[in-house]
């Protein structure tokens, strides 16, 4: 994640996002730099409009709470599902142990 943050910092400082810049930011932050990861990041960001991506990313979390709050029955159903799975696992576990004792 710190690699992406380094690129965002360079973007906000209106600097070129290149391998040297990302490596310098990471080194200054005390992060051990992996050259392959830096190169992959810089290559993958070559065709990305970072300003637009950041604006889109900021808008996404604002929409998430509205979607979660809108479905009143969705949250309880999600909470019930793991409990049912645990009950099934426990029952299967006891049956498996019972077969060991005959």
Read off the pLDDT of each residue in 36-54 and give the average, rounded to a whole number: 88
d(CA 21, CA 92): 56
Task: Report which of 10, 3, 9, 12 is spatially closest to residue 44, judged by C-alpha positions.
Answer: 3
Percentage of the chain surpassing pLDDT 70? Answer: 57
pLDDT: which is higher, 5 or 88 = 5
Residues in the chain: 102
What is the CA angle 7-8-10, rounded to 5?
65
């Amino acid at each position: 994640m710190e690699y992406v943050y380094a690129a965002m910092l360079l973007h906000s400082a209106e600097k070129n996002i290149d391998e040297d810049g990302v490596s310098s930011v990471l080194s200054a932050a005390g992060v051990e730099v992996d050259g392959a990861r830096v190169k992959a990041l810089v290559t993958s960001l070559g065709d990305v409009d970072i300003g637009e991506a950041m604006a889109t990313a900021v808008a996404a979390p604002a929409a998430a709470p509205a979607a979660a709050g809108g479905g009143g029955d969705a949250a309880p159903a999600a909470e019930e599902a793991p409990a049912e799975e645990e009950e099934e696992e426990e029952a299967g576990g006891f049956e498996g142990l019972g077969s060991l004792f005959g």
